[in-house]
Amino acid sequence: MSKRPERMAPPEVYYNETEAKKYTQSSRMIDIQVQMCERAIELLLLPEDKSCLLLDIGCGSGLSGSVLEDQGHLWIGVDISSSMLEVANDRETNGDLILGDMGQGLPFKAGAFDGAVSISALQWLCYANKTSHNPTKRLYCFFSTLFACLSRSARAVLQFYPENSEQVELITAQATKAGFFGGVVVDFPNSTKAKKMFLVLMTGGAAPLPKALGTETENRQTVANSKREYIKKARGNSLKKSRDWIIEKKERRRRQGQEVRADTKYTGRKRSGRF
């Protein structure tokens, strides 16, 4: 069994330039990231046909941000790894990127976000990478500032990989202490490979938790249809800057209420470089 990354080095050290590049070169990693972010957005229960401002915690190289963009949302990302953020910058993501340690709190004004997502980041707070680190205090600092920066009808959905049940209890206890309602949704609980855990947090009072996905035959067609496009974009293949890519990006911005030039037969056409 391979050693958990959380036990190998602090996240800002572990996710160096080499590890950061893996996230835009491995189609398997991209596929998993896309599916988990799609599911996180589904669990947010956002209003339909509305562009929301979302927070991506542990945004990494911007893979989740690409999913948020493609669903018509604006986003701001926070990550502790400068190497990951450099890759996100190189990919020209539309989100604003902030270098920061979520264990020290989130630096945003009250009620700023309509929702928050996080993929594979939360469990890092359960480990003390420095003598000054206290996991309980860092988790509470994170959850209390997350609660503050969400609107009072917003949700946060954080996918995470706990090492044991004690970590789950530690995380949920600090989230509750910070004011959140909610709990853990476990998709495919009987599958070693497909099992995924999502902490679904609510700010506006107690509500029933969303139904977990329970079988391999659950319809995931929307993810299957779109994942190839995400993979091409994330890996920087020829799709980027193509006519289809440009038209899709313009359409996203129209949905967000931004002013965009009309499409013409010249949209996306390469210039010859001659006059």
Q: What is the 3-state secondary structure (H, E, C) of the chain?
A: CCCCHHHCCCHHHHCCHHHHHHHHHCHHHHHHHHHHHHHHHHHHCCCCCCCCEEEEECCCCCHHHHHHHHCCCEEEEEECCHHHHHHHHHCCCCCEEEECCHHHCCCCCCCCEEEEEEECCHHHHHCCCCCCCCHHHHHHHHHHHHHHHEEEEEEEEEEECCCCHHHHHHHHHHHHHCCCEEEEEEECCCCCCCCEEEEEEECCCCCCCCCCCCCCCCCCHHHHHHHHHHHHHHCCCCCCCCHHHHHHHHHHHHHCCCCCCCCCCCCCCCCCCCC
Query: Cα separations (Å) of 267 from 239, 252, 271?
Result: 14, 16, 11
Instruction: Kindly state the average pLDDT of the residues 159-182.
Output: 95
| Cα(218)–Cα(172) distance, integer angstroms | 27
Q: For residue 105, which amino acid is it?
A: G
CA–CA gap between residue 111 and residue 150 (Å, rounded): 4
CATH number of 5-240: 3.40.50.150
Mean pLDDT of 207-224: 63
Q: In angstroms, how far apart are the furthest CA atoms of the chain?
A: 68
Confidence class for position 259, pLDDT limits 50, 70, 90: confident
pLDDT (mean) for 198-213: 91
Gap between the Cα atoms of 228 and 51, Å rounded: 24
The mean-pLDDT minimum among 33-37, 57-61, 262-266 falls in 262-266
Spatial separation of the C-alpha atoms in residues 27 and 227, rounded to whole Å: 10
Residue 226 above 50 pLDDT?
no
Q: Please write the tens of the pLDDT for every residue from 154-170.
A: 999 999 999 999 999 99
Return the pLDDT at 43: 96
Distance CA 20, CA 35 (A): 19
273 half-sphere exposure, CB direction, 13 A CA radius: 0
**What value does the mean pLDDT of the chain take?**
82
Residue 219: what pLDDT? 41
Kindly report, residue by residue over 45-79, the tens digit of the pLDDT. Answer: 998 888 999 999 999 888 899 999 999 999 999 99
Residue 239 near residue 232 (C-beta atoms within 8 A): yes
Pairing of strands 150-160, 113-119: parallel
> What is the rounded CA–CA span in Å between residue 158 and residue 36?
10
